Amino acid sequence: MPTLLITGAAGQVGTALRPLLREHYDLRLFDRREPADPAANEQVMVGDLCDPASVARAVEGVDAILHLACVHGPAIRFDATVQPNYHATLYLLEAAQRFGVKRFLFASSHHVLGQYRGDAAARFDDLPPAPDGYYGISKVFGEAACAGYALRGGPAAFVIRIGNADAQVADARRLRMWVSTRDLARLVRIGLEHPDVRNEVVYGVSDSPQPMFANTRARELGYRPQDNAGDCKAADYLDHDAMHPTASGRDHVGGVYAASPLAPVLPEA
């Protein structure tokens, strides 16, 4: 089987995806801490993506990369994102090109569009980026870096703008962008296997009663969601009126990220 490197393999999304992906690929699991319960075809590598030598060791010998690792949070400062979200992504892309990796899947986020109001348009797929914070800005950078390498002869790039990947749907905003683990795994497999992938951006979303993203390109590539967010509401699900009108960011794509102030970059005068 092909070997797939997963960065951030001990995180929430990586942990959830592993059982579905290891049926089709040998997995190399890379994280700063050891992922739990590795299977027979899962190789564990503990290291730091901010270290170019660690990145080179992780990438050498794999066929494809699924880059999930990042730092995030609504109150995160810009300087906290520079090494793990900018430098690490470039280290991985350069190593992928150096070692002849065929596919590079980048876990982007709906936060690249987070500043748009939820009622601004029926669909947001074709709008220009409007990131809601330093995390979203770093994802815009990552998408651009993937395109730059892919179109310069590097690995084919497949960007997945993940909506909400929690186990259940928490509220009305997330209802419009939720994705199940098996639907996300299906998108990953399309990104790894579809022959037409060169430089693509799709959305990591399942079906929804009121979808925020049409996800046209994913459907053109054969994506057919198996799950609907309306069937996966949490017991304490909040409808729109029950959400705090400002603190929750309910009326923006990015939710609380859009409602949070940016930490200053300039030193105080």
User: Would you call 135 a catalytic residue per the annotation?
Assistant: yes
In the beta sheet, which residues pair with residue 105?
66, 158
For residue 167, give every residue at least 6 positions away whose Cβ sits within 8 Å of its Cβ, in sequence order, or none.
Answer: none
Inter-residue contact 55 to 88 (CB < 8 Å): yes
C-alpha span between 46 and 239 (Å, rounded): 41
Give the three-state DSSP class for 58.
helix
Q: What is the distance in angstroms between the CA of the first residue and the CA of the last residue of the chain? A: 58
C-alpha span between 258 and 127 (Å, rounded): 17
Strand order in the sheet with 156-162: 42-46, 26-31, 3-7, 64-67, 103-109, 156-162, 199-204
Catalytic residue among 91, 116, 135, 223: 135
- The set of catalytic residues is 135
